């Protein structure tokens, strides 16, 4: 195998520093001594509790979720300081006290579970006080680990619950948002003591499926899976035109299959690929944008999709494997769109790849480390053959440990396994708190009927037409998704925006994927483009220009959702194999045409009329109809021949 150190750029990136700057989840205390050991013990016990209940049976819903939240709250208050200026190496007494209190409040449900069930709906003064404190603790934990955006949204929904009777002054169709109002006791009971609020479906999925998959990812990282993805991407694409950029696209897609954060994906793979792209000749803003767009697409990549796939299965009632299957073609089209623009930019600039003798070879790499991918193959097989996600995750965790033991070079010890348990618990914290906070939003929606009211308002605003409704839903999802983690992002957009599409008869799967896509793409859409800003920080480029470049690269994410709503065959719904092959072929050709139009280059620089011809042809090819395909082929062929003629003349 080639010495991969030759392809490492001279520029070095402090990964922890960039993660702490752009990803709140990574800005936690690094404690040593007795405090560090206590936190490690709590995290390990948390992982062991989740494994125990997964293997021997999940507890009653409210008890399972309350214990899950209690562990999460304790760790959040210990690891994330109250103020950003406080030390990351010392534990503040206030945070220690708050951690104890925040951990005890959810256990009130566990201790008094039977009594709470027997007097369902009756709220004592103690219930009211504990519940109100519990809600405040969840919001404070969200502020620390997730950030202000989701806290502001949750508080706005709580305010809406109280303000319902005072909204009759709203004009026109917006007056539908008024309601009779919710009392304090009613709201606290609904949000804290039922499975319709904080302990709702999102936290339920977090306490079962999601935690196990995050733990699985933690063990994969211990086995060196991340480096394998980068080495494999280099071996496959590093030699091509603009090789490092294509490595960024491919490695981010591979990392996205297991990653739960676009920002973490940007920093993890971008610390390696962005300096390589700059050294090759890409501008900093383009290099950062490639990594940001590719890493954000990882949240759309099956089988995990940033853990949203599990929530989508629960919300829609569609089997998990069907959700994954539906997301495959849109994800492929997304990455083909980025790949085509990257390739054309490299051709336009005349950029070459890395010499093959400086790259690892695919064969030796697979022989040496290919066994590390066995758990990923196993988890897909288990899901396809009908195993539950929880059972599949348990087997995948076990196989990840067994697989790395097959060769001495990848073997891990007991210390690594224990550290994997700790890292898995830490990695789940933002998801736990985001799901709990999203439960507040869902609780208000179910109590006030806001979801249907918002849907009616959006449909009325669009005049009952599908395309305008899709546009307004897209804008709503982009706004709601700004600065919000993947899981909470999907919960919010599916609760508020998706019902508008369902009212117009859009298939359930298509409606939920539509809002999910636009909620995720907010990570590269100005003004709150966290993934793009992280990429610009590594590339030392202009953040806003990086964000606009990333939006251009992610053009597929703005187009494909409209296509699969109007033509659900792209989601593999009621499709035959010949039709699927034709749809995939025409859609891929269409994405290449759109990529060329976005880049302004095909065989040579495109004029504006040529760009419009290729754009129109690409869009028509995305619509899987025989007539539109013929027109699209004619336009793309015409654009190509015009370019070829210009090149021949010059």
Q: Which domain holds residue 605?
A: 575-650
Only one residue has tokens 């966290």, namely: 530
In a domain, 511, yes or no: no
Name the pTM for this structure: 0.87
In a domain, 630, yes or no: yes
Q: For position 452, what pLDDT does the model report? A: 83
Distances (CA, A) of 307 to 49, 210, 211, 373, 431: 20, 6, 9, 20, 9
The two tokens of residue 591 are: 């994405």
In a domain, 66, yes or no: no
Q: For position 10, what pLDDT does the model report? A: 47
Q: For position 22, what pLDDT does the model report? A: 65
Q: For position 302, what pLDDT does the model report? A: 80
| Alpha-carbon gap, residue 232 to 190, rounded angstroms | 50
| Alpha-carbon gap, residue 469 to 466, rounded angstroms | 5
Distances (CA, A) of 308 to 39, 262, 492, 523: 28, 13, 12, 15
Q: For position 5, what pLDDT does the model report? A: 45
Q: For position 24, what pLDDT does the model report? A: 67
For the chain of 650 residues, list the mean pLDDT of each consecutive stretch of 10.
46 61 74 92 97 94 96 96 86 95 97 90 92 97 90 93 88 82 94 94 91 89 84 88 86 74 79 84 89 86 77 88 88 88 87 83 88 86 82 90 87 91 93 92 91 86 90 88 79 88 92 91 80 87 89 84 86 82 86 89 90 91 80 92 88
In a domain, 246, yes or no: no
In a domain, 595, yes or no: yes
In a domain, 340, yes or no: no
Handedness of CA 164, 166, 168, 174 (dihedral sign): negative
In a domain, 602, yes or no: yes
Question: What is the number of domains present in the chain?
Answer: 1
First-residue to last-residue Cα distance in the chain = 43
């Amino acid at each position: 195998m080639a010495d991969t150190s030759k392809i490492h750029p001279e520029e070095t990136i402090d990964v922890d520093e960039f993660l702490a700057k752009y990803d709140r989840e990574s800005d936690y205390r690094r404690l040593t001594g007795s405090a560090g050991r206590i936190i490690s013990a709590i995290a390990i016990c948390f992982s062991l509790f989740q494994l125990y209940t997964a293997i021997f049976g999940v507890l009653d819903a409210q008890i399972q979720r309350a214990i899950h939240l209690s562990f999460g709250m304790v760790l959040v208050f210990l690891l994330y300081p109250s103020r950003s200026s406080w030390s990351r190496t010392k534990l503040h007494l206030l945070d220690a006290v708050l951690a104890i209190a925040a951990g005890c409040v959810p256990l009130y449900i566990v201790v008094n579970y039977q009594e709470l069930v027997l007097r369902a709906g009756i709220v004592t003064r103690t219930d009211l006080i504990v519940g109100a404190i519990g809600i405040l603790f969840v919001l404070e934990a969200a502020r620390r680990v997730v950030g202000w955006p989701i806290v502001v949204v949750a508080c706005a929904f709580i305010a809406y619950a109280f303000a319902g009777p005072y909204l009759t002054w709203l004009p026109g169709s917006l007056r539908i948002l008024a309601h009779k109002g919710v009392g304090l006791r009613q709201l606290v009971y609904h949000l804290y003591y039922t499975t319709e609020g904080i302990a709702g479906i999102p936290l339920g999925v977090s306490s079962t499926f999601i935690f196990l998959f995050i733990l699985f990812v933690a063990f994969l990282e211990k086995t060196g899976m991340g480096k394998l993805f980068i080495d494999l991407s280099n071996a496959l694409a590093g030699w091509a035109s603009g090789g490092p950029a294509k490595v960024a696209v491919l490695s981010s897609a591979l990392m996205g299959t297991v990653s739960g954060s676009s920002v973490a994906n940007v920093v993890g793979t971008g610390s390696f690929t962005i300096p390589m792209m700059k050294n090759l000749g890409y501008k900093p803003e383009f290099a950062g944008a490639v990594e940001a767009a590719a890493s954000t697409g990882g949240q759309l990549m099956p089988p995990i999709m940033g853990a949203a796939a599990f929530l989508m299965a629960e919300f829609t009632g569609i089997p998990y494997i069907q959700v994954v299957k539906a997301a495959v073609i849109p994800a492929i089209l997304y990455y083909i769109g980025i790949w085509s623009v990257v390739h054309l930019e490299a051709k336009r600039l005349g950029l070459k790849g890395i010499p093959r003798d400086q790259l690892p070879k695919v064969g030796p790499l697979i022989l040496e480390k290919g066994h590390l991918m066995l758990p990923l193959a196993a988890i897909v097989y288990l899901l396809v053959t009908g195993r539950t996600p929880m059972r599949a995750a348990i087997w995948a965790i076990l196989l990840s440990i067994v697989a790395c033991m097959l060769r001495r070079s990848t073997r891990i010890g007991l210390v690594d396994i224990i550290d994997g348990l700790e890292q898995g618990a830490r990695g789940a914290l933002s998801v736990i708190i985001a799901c709990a906070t999203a439960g507040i939003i869902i609780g208000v929606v179910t109590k006030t009927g806001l979801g249907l009211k918002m849907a009616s308002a959006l449909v009325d605003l669009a005049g009952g037409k599908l395309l305008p409704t899709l546009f307004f839903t897209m804008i709503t999802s982009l706004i709601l998704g700004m600065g919000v983690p993947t899981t909470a992002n999907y919960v919010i957009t599916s609760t508020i925006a998706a019902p508008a599409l369902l009212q117009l008869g859009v298939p359930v799967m298509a409606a939920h994927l539509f809002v999910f896509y636009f909620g995720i793409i907010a990570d590269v859409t100005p003004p709150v483009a966290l993934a793009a800003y992280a990429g610009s920080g590594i590339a030392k480029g202009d953040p806003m220009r990086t964000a606009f470049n990333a939006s251009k690269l992610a053009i597929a994410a703005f187009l494909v959702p409209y296509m699969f709503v109007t033509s659900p065959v792209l989601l593999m719904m009621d499709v035959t194999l010949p039709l699927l092959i034709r749809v995939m072929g025409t859609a891929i050709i269409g994405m290449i045409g759109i990529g060329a139009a976005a880049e302004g280059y095909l065989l040579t620089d495109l004029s504006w009329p040529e760009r419009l011809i290729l754009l129109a042809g690409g869009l028509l090819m995305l619509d899987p109809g025989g007539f539109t395909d013929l027109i699209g082929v004619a336009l793309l062929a015409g654009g190509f021949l015009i370019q070829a003629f210009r090149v021949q003349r010059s």
